[in-house]
Structures are given as C-alpha cells and as structure tokens.
Chains A and B, each alone.
Chain A
Amino acid sequence: MNGSHRRTMWILILSPPVLLLAALLIGRYGVRPDQALKALFGFDGASEVLRSLIVRVRLPRALAAACIGANLSVCGAAFQGLFRNPLVDSRILGVSSGAAFGAAIALLFSASAVAVQASAFIFALVAVGLVVLIGWRFGASTLVIVIGGILTSALFNALLGLIKYVADPLSNLPAITYWLLGGLSGSRWTVLPPLLVISGFGLTFFALIRWRMNLLTLPDAEASSLGVRIRPLRIAVMIAGTVMVAASVAIGGMIGWIGLVVPHVARAAVGPDHRLLIPASAAIGAATLLVLDTVARTALPSEIPLGILTGLIGVPAFFVLFLRFLRARGAAR
C-alpha cells in the first residue's frame, strides 16, 4: 500500500457520503443545504412538506442506491477473483434471472410491491441454490459452477419469457417490462430494511475476509498448500455475495454493468490486492449509483429507467476512465 493508493482511497471513501447528501438536495423541488440539514435532523423551522420530501422520499432512495451500488460492485469484484475470470459479474450464478422470474410471476398476479420484492428475492436464491446443488453434486469446481449458472439462467429466462407471453398486454406486461428495466422509484422505508440489514452484514463479511480473498485467486491445489481450506471459503463467499445481490435486484430490478465494470475501475485505481480492492469497489459502486440515480430521476420530466442509464452513461464513461487510468499507470495490464 503506497502513498498514492492511500490518497486515492481517502477520496473514494469520502465520495459516497458527500454524494448522498448531494442527492438529498437535488431534485424537481430544489432544497437549500441548510434547509435539508434542518429537515434531516429534525430541527424546528423545517416545513413538514420539506421534511417529508427529504426523509420519506429522497433519503431511502439514496440509501438504496448507495447500498445496491456497493453490493453489486463488491460481489462483482469477489466473483471475478473467485472464478479467476475478469469478465464475470454478480449475475454468473443466475441470481438476476431468478429474481427477474420471481418479480414477473408476482407482477403477473398484480401483487403488492412488498410481495414483488419478496418473490424476486426468494427466486433469486432458488436459482443460486440450484447452481450450488449442481456444483456440489459434480465436484464444486469453478467450471461446473459456471456451467450450472449458465443452465439455470437459461431456464429462468425461458420461464420469464413464458410469463411475459401469458401476461395481460395492457396491465401486467408493461409492469413486468418496467420492472425489468430497473429503477429505484419503489424504494420507500417500508421495503428498505431487508436491504439495509443484508448490505450491512454482507459488506462487513467481505471487509473482514478481504485479505484472504487474494488466496481465492490461486489455483485450488496451490491455495490448499498455503493452508487455506478453499471449498468452505468459496461457498461462503458465494452465499454472502448472492444474498447481497438478491436483496439488491429485488428492490432495484435489473441494473447491469455496475458489477462488471466498477471492479475493473477499482483495480485500475488501487491495484488487485483485495485489502484495498474491496473497499474501493464498494465506494466507487455506491458513488456511481448515487450519481446515476440522481440523473435518472431529474434529467427528464419523467423518470429514466436506471438499467438503461447504467448502460447508456455508465459504459462509455467507465471506458474512458479505464483507459485514462491505464495510461496514467503506463502499463497495459
């Protein structure tokens, strides 16, 4: 850990809280910083409307954005190391496909927002459970797990197609389509607790084992010759990661690219050592989604689906950033 990494780390760690405060101020209804702070901390003199806007609407949404961004990015980084493949993201185990199917089936029956979230979460875990089952049955090598993930994703995608096909094209189908595009407009305090708790536990877990995750990037036999029981560690990381992603997509829907690209940007910024990579991924992911969600709800008169934004703005912006980092470090890898 050299000096320049330490400075980068401070900037990264400080950016999510700053951006979270900014997200509370920015919106259709402009708020002055002092008013916002008064409303947030319950001082007298803040109007009830403002208080309601900041505390009941913008705060839970900003918290959701920060948690989901951090979760997707940390899991992306963890899975890229775990599968020794830089092109992997959090969806490799079929979490997103399972969640999409779960949400769609709930929406098909016009269920409540909480029920949609619960169904998405449960089916995300069912999908991963299926993958782990296949993996366990055939030796738990990364290859088997990857193939299990591909098969499970394909299965749930087919089932999702079936639901779309039978859904009422005037009511349920649009609801499913909008959900799949991703967005945080549904993040109210009522649906937030599971996400907050799971993110808290999950991020703490990854913070604690982050150095040991370096050893997960070694071939199995090599890691075990260094005294690491690789299989329990791998399964623990997979379970923690998928629960975090499941909780995230259950609220935010399909938000692509974050889990794939953020870890690469983090690696370019602070190097591949998970001691720095994990916190850096969390910070960059949280900051990114805070910015993108603020854009999503303010740029146009009607809301832009977050999944579209992460693709349209996220990808080229990250590409440029990535190239700049590479050039600054003067190395191609």
Chain B
Amino acid sequence: MKLAAEKICYAYIRENDVLHEVSLSVASGNILFVLGANGSGKTTLLDCLSGVRVPRSGQVTIDGARLADLSLRERARRIGVVPQMHEPIFAYTVGQAVLMARAPHLGLFGRPGKADIQAVEEALRAVGIANLRDRPYTGISGGERQLVLIARGLAQGAGCLLMDEPAAHLDPHHQQDALGVVGALADDGFSFVVTSHHPNNALLYANEVLFLAAGTPVVYGPPRAVFTEESLRTTYGIPFDIVRTDMGIRAILPCVRHRRSTI
C-alpha cells in the first residue's frame, strides 16, 4: 500500500495557492508527520490525500491508481481518515460507531452482518479497546475516543490512515498511548500521514517529516535530517533550541531568552 502525491497545488480562491507543489510518498509500515504553523495548509493537504478536495494540478495516487479515478467506495476501502475529535450528538455505543466504517463494504440497503461485526471486533482488539465495545461513545475519555476513531479506520479495511492532529486536546500520557498504537500498527504494515503541532512527537514516532510553510514544502526527509534550527525557524517564524545528546536529537524547544525562573 503506497500513497503518493506528486506536485499537488490547491487553491480555494483562484491563483491563491494554499498548497504549492507538495510531493510526498508513504509506503507500508511508515509514518509521515506533517508539521507547520496554523493555516499552513496541513488539513487541506490531508483533504487532498483523502480525495475530499481535488488538487488544481498534480495528482494523488494510491498503489499507482489515480485517486480521481476511484469511486468514493473504492477510495474509502483503501484510505481511512481519522478526524480531529468531534463531540457526537447521539450516544452510539463504541461498537456501533466503529461499525459505521463498514459502509464502503455494503450496498445502499445493506445492513452489517457477521463478517462486519467480526471486522469491528478485530479492529477494537488491534487498538486495545475491546472492553469499551458496549460503552456509549459520548461517555468515554478523549484519549479513548481517539482510539475509537483509529479503530474505525481499521474496520474500514484501509491500509493507509490520515490523522488530523491526533494529539490535540490530549495530555502527554494519552498522546503517547494513541501514538504508541499508531507505531504498533505501522509495525504491522499500516501506513500513516499525521498532522501535528508537536515536533517532539515527530521526533519520537516519524519515519519521515514534511515541513510546510504557507503551503510550500520547506524540507522533507527523515527526522535527523530535517530538524535543524533553520528549518524550524522558517516553518514557525520563531527560533528553536535543539537539544542534542550522544543519542542524537532528544528534544526541540522554543527559545525563550528571559525565563521567569532559573533551574
């Protein structure tokens, strides 16, 4: 399963590119982190990769097939989207919420059967939340809900999952829980594109990192190659300290010249 984008450009208003000549490629077992300031085009990029938006030039391919040539159902069976958390209105159980992912495998009048229930069970077990199946989706924690959304992507049958800021609103513990599951799934051959505001998470979990600034790629490559003071400054517009040890880069911190307390 290989998802690739080739020099894609996207504009909401004509001649005003929100994405400009972005190329990337994620193969099975890899995790690509997309980092960039607010409004740099990360979510638009995910929308182009999932097929919700169609680039004005360039193309997105999955296993060599152009995304634009695939039907909505075919696309959904290959690419899953893990949206930023939303507050559900009706109290579906976790099992019912994940079961919705079987839609691309069923006809208009179809109702899920044994095989679909089986797929849901497997997906829940794969992310380690089989015990939550009958709990209302509205009554679980944010970290658990993120795992439910990942499970939904798996139940969909997709080999590639696009995640929009999975760490948003999560405490450090639950961020590592969610990303740990992502890492384990990548080891099993799934591929991930993850947008994030946390360079340190990219350091810990990414195989490759893409920096976006105003819709244009700044650098693209493995973490040790792309995390430089210069690329961080270009991307976020402020200076960063990179903490290096003999084990390589350990942390990335914004420079603050006047600390309020000394350590």
Contact = CB atoms under 8 A, between A and B. Distances in A.
A267 interface: yes
Contacts of A211: 106, 110-112
B138 interface: yes
A288 B1 CA distance: 54
B104 A219 contact: no
B100 A214 contact: yes
A229 B75 CA distance: 12
Contacts of B83: 219, 221-222, 225
Contacts of B42: none
B81 A222 contact: yes
Given A211-B110, A211-B111, A211-B112, A86 B104 contact: no
A264 B72 CA distance: 33
Interface string B96-116: 100011011010111110000
B103 A227 contact: yes
Closest 3 CB pairs of A and B: A227-B76, A227-B104, A272-B90
A81 B100 CA distance: 14
A225 B72 CA distance: 8
B156 interface: yes
A2 B96 CA distance: 12
B91 A219 contact: no
Given A86-B89, A224-B52, A228-B72, A215 B100 contact: yes
B100 A333 contact: no
Contacts of B93: 271, 273
B52 A217 contact: no
Given A215-B100, A331-B136, 18 more contacts: A86-B90, A209-B109, A211-B110, A211-B112, A212-B106, A212-B109, A214-B92, A217-B88, A221-B81, A222-B81, A222-B83, A224-B72, A225-B81, A225-B83, A267-B90, A273-B92, A333-B136, A333-B139
Contact of A226 (B92, B100, B108, B138): B100
B50 interface: yes
Contacts of B156: 226
B100 A218 contact: yes
B86 interface: yes
A313 B207 CA distance: 65
B80 interface: yes
Nearest to B137: A272
B73 interface: yes
Contacts of A297: none
B142 to A, nearest CB: 17
Interface string A118-160: 0000000000000000000000000000000000000000000
B20 interface: no
Interface residues of B, number: 35
A226 B161 CA distance: 12
Contacts, number: 83
B108 A209 contact: yes
A292 to B, nearest CB: 27
Contacts of A331: 91, 136, 139
Interface in B47-62: 47, 50, 52
A331 B77 CA distance: 36
Contacts of B91: 271-272, 331, 333
B132 to A, nearest CB: 15
Interface in A258-288: 267, 271-273, 275
Interface in A202-237: 208-212, 214-215, 217-219, 221-222, 224-229
A6 interface: no
Nearest to B73: A227
Contacts of B86: 219, 222
Which of A86, A209, A214, A275 has most chain B Cβ within 10 Å? A214
B46 to A, nearest CB: 10
Contact of B76 (A85, A226, A267, A272): A226
B145 to A, nearest CB: 13
Contacts of A222: 81, 83, 86
A201 to B, nearest CB: 14
A225 B76 contact: yes
A268 to B, nearest CB: 10
Given A227-B77, A272-B90, A214 B108 contact: no
A324 interface: no
A56 interface: no
Contacts of B110: 211-212
Contact of B111 (A218, A224, A275): A275
B109 A208 contact: yes
B50 A212 contact: no
Contacts of B92: 214, 271-273
User: A2, A221, A225, A273 — which one has the most chain B CB atoms within 10 A of its CB?
Assistant: A225
